[in-house]
Structure 1
Amino acid sequence: MKRLAAIAVAAAALHAVPAGAVEIEVGYPYSHLFDVTYEKIMESFKKEHPEIEVTFRATYEDYEDGTNTILREAVSGNLPDITMQGLNRQQVLVEKGIAKSLEPFIAKEADFEKDGYHKAMLDLGTFGGEVHGLPFSVSLPVGYYNMDLVKKAGTTALPKTWDEVIQLCQKMSANGVKNPMFWGWNITGNWFVQALMWSQDKPIVEDGRFTIDSDEGLVSLETMKKLFRGCDMQNLSWKEALASFSAGEIGMMFWSTSALGAVERAKGDFELKTAEFPGIGQKPKGLPAGGNAALLVSTSDDPERLQAAWTFLKYITSGLGAAAVAETTGYMPPNKAANEIILADFYKKNPNKETAVRQLPLLREWIAYPGDNGLAVTQVIYDGIESVVVGDQDDMKALQEELQEEVTDLLPAPAKGS
């Protein structure tokens, strides 16, 4: 059961709880990525705060599952104290009054800014001028390369554009590589669709309006089709793709840097390299920030429990907690103290994890679809892209029109004058 891993982490870390300890509950996604992170964090947190007992709930399958779970728990009155949510899923929880403002706690922290939070990262969790989410981990899309299979294609040069990716796919295929590439179309929140749009400096939602009907939208759809067809890409689930790449069966994989730690732990005997995310004919002009943030959703009116929740929330997003994220995953810490002090030499020794750091100047917003139908919009776009992956749709202009119509029907009407 998916709860077992989280319970095991909690049990190992929380032994010898003193009488009178304040208990808080925490929910987080992606057990395969973050179990080792929280285990590492809890080793130090428990030593520093023996007065706080942390219980981890069943892990969320992904960010969509996390948001759906919290929405259900808000109705049933069974919310945890802290939930980790995708950066693009915070807004709906703020708008529904589920996520609490952190400003009252921040106001009492004389050295809060000195803890090293990047303002740009804080902005991702700021709504109505108030901070509601502290960023826990930040990711960007990167390329993963099995250099043994790349060399089998007669080269060591890594592609900088999607056309070059297709050329390398064809060289790999000609040299016996059965599955040259996987491209993460099915990653959470239509993240790779937004990556193609931001590569052209175009947000997928602008002034409340869906923009897939733009020239950039059509280029994005056509680029996906060229990749899927030109690389004979198999229709794998994301779990199958990560396992297959780790087993040495896929030549190159385009995915979030977040999985790097998991891939390194699981990979077979081949040389792994990461490189910057390719662009459409040139270097990307922007890329969406992935990752998640810590939100306070407690319904408790006990000031000690709320303070304990804040203590934990602040700890996991500040220096030591943020450093643990980088050391155990491929995420980047959204915290200057972690990047500049604790991890000063880390990236020199771990060049594959430095790739995403080099892309930080390209960081753009991971856009939330406005209104109550954001999750439904995500599914519509997912289904549309899947129709291209499986070969049911070859007319990208027709798909563009279909997506524009269906998504527009689900979004709130843009404000007049927009």
Structure 2
Amino acid sequence: MSYRPKAFVYRLFTVAILGTAAFVSPAAAEVTLDVLYTTPGTFNTLQQDLAKRFTELHPDIKIKFRNPVAGYEEAAQQILRDQLTGRLPDVAFNGINQIGLFVARGLGAPLDEFIAKDGGVDKLGYYPTLAELGKWKGKTYGLPFAVSTPVLYVNADLVEKGGGNINDLPRAWGELTALGKKVESSAGAGVTGLYFQWEQTGNWLVQSLVTSRGGYMLKSDGCSIAFNDAAGLWALKTLEGFGKSGMPNLSLAQARQSFVAGSVAILVDSTSYVAAADRQIGGRFKFRTMAFPLASEAGRLPAGGNVAMVFATDAARRQAAWEYVKFVTGPVGQTQMVNLTGYMPGNEIAVKQPDMLGGFYEKNPNHKTSIAQLPVLTEWAAFPGDNSLKIIEVIKSHTEGLVTGRRSAEETMPVLVKDVTALLPACAGR
């Protein structure tokens, strides 16, 4: 990659991160950007901090946040309603899997011209692999703000009490489940050996099983299902196995609270929770993150998290929105994002600068697991058409049937294929 001379970058961003105006916009009419984000428990403090830093650098641009919504599906529904009422936000932080949903409806501004005018993806510092996740049909509509990968959260004390070796954990789900049962036997009532966060937004961890086996959710045409194969059936059987093991059916929040309370030995979850888990555990037990098991040499993991998108329609507001997106996805914004969450940064400059994240990962190894999985990331599949959000709910419902033992994998697959196919549009390609 090509960057500005190191000394220049160091001086520029050191000044910026201290909040001093390294760049002040030329005098212009004041613009107030309407901004929507999700998951307030994770992002409230970060978003407020970034807005303050940005407006210190750009006093002619103000940030007005909408009330944040719970998750990516809720944000998508709100934006689609806003399109009907003409009240779209200027900037929104959306799930990586939702870009196509918006673009198909004429929403979202392509960012390629802005990127080119500011030197290109390399000069701005974005990891090429992660920048690609923001593209749809060859154009860039989103830039990586907070990227997550699936990992294992491990209570080393419980695992070792159950006879496991924290430095040599099994790499197959059946063996991990068996280890979890040993932990339950040794720890007694109230402890869960393994919990898989199957209800993650956008069927993300369900997709992770499919892709970790070398499978795909959609065919290359982008609008025909591909999970009705051996990899897909393996994923469903794995979910069924969790249910048969006696895994309780918890909400995402309940499972996380149980883990930090010390009553779950292995939690399969997003890296987005790492910083919060570290704070909440507070050293009460040994906590480690470990890579999500790949079940095939061709295995990949879908990149989760969100991208910053521009929905502003007039030229002046789009320019102001671009400045904000560039800041929050740039070195300063990404440094703050990593420090306050467990997400992976999309900007490599932040990772390499010694005064930013240069030494962060050596001091915080639980965050390093996500970065290590960068080479195996793939897309988080988005279902096309008007029923995209309905399909997510359909898959979620069938998954719950598997983990609660209501239906087997063999029974589920044909019904799941039928229900999803019925909601897909006529194939038009991507």
Normalising by structure 1, we get a TM-score of 0.90
Distance 1:290 1:87 in 2: 6
Q: Look up the match of 2:163.
A: 154
Q: Residues 151-189 of structure 1: CA distance to partner in whole angstroms, max 9, x if unpaired?
A: 221333333221221121111111134222210110011
356-365 or 203-212: bigger deviation: 203-212
Q: How many residues align?
A: 396
Q: Look up the match of 1:348.
A: 362
Q: Look up the match of 1:391.
A: 405
Q: Look up the match of 1:296.
A: 310
User: Where in structure 2 are the equivalents of 1:39-58 lying within 5 Å?
Assistant: 39-58=48-67
Structure 1 position 41, deviation (Å): 2.1
Structure 1 position 283, deviation (Å): 6.8
Q: Look up the match of 1:274.
A: 289
Q: Do the aligned partners of 2:240 and 2:405 also contact (CA within 8 Å) in 1?
A: no
User: Aligned match of 1:199 in 192, 209, 212?
Assistant: 212
User: Where in structure 2 are the equivalents of 1:209-228 lying within 5 Å?
Assistant: 209-228=224-243
SS at match of 1:279: coil
Distance 2:381 2:280 in 1: 32
Distance 1:58 1:185 in 2: 27
Structure 1 position 20, deviation (Å): 6.3
Q: Which amino acid aligns with 2:319?
A: Q
Distance 1:44 1:318 in 2: 12
Q: Does 1:404 align with 2:408?
A: no
User: Aligned match of 2:202 in 179, 189, 200?
Assistant: 189
Distance 1:194 1:111 in 2: 32
Q: Residues 227-286 of structure 1: CA distance to partner in whole angstroms, max 9, x if unpaired?
A: 2222x2111111111122122221110001111112222225222110011233x67721
Q: Look up the match of 1:168.
A: 179
Distance 1:372 1:330 in 2: 32
Q: Do the aligned partners of 1:162 and 1:279 also contact (CA within 8 Å) in 2?
A: no
SS at match of 1:209: coil
Q: Look up the match of 1:317.
A: 329
Structure 1 position 105, deviation (Å): 2.4
User: Where in structure 2 are the equivalents of 1:22-61 lying within 5 Å?
Assistant: 22-61=31-70
Q: Do the aligned partners of 1:21 and 1:53 also contact (CA within 8 Å) in 2?
A: yes
Distance 1:354 1:306, change over 3 A: same
Q: Residues 339-369 of structure 1: CA distance to partner in whole angstroms, max 9, x if unpaired?
A: 2223221100000000111111110110101
User: Aligned match of 2:347 in 323, 335, 340?
Assistant: 335
User: Where in structure 2 are the equivalents of 1:106-117 lying within 5 Å?
Assistant: 106-110=115-119, 113-117=122-126
Q: Which amino acid aligns with 1:286?
A: R
Q: Do the aligned partners of 1:212 and 1:403 also contact (CA within 8 Å) in 2?
A: no
User: Aligned match of 2:260 in 234, 243, 246?
Assistant: 246
SS at match of 1:34: helix
Q: Which amino acid aligns with 1:168?
A: L
Q: Which amino acid aligns with 2:202?
A: G
Distance 1:257 1:110 in 2: 31
194-203 or 108-117: bigger deviation: 108-117
SS at match of 1:175: helix
Q: Look up the match of 1:9.
A: none
User: Where in structure 2 are the equivalents of 1:79-118 lying within 5 Å?
Assistant: 79-110=88-119, 113-118=122-127
Q: Look up the match of 2:378.
A: 364
Normalising by structure 2, we get a TM-score of 0.87
Q: Do the aligned partners of 1:290 and 1:366 also contact (CA within 8 Å) in 2?
A: yes
Distance 2:116 2:165 in 1: 53
For the aligned residue pairs, the C-alpha RMSD in angstroms reads 2.2
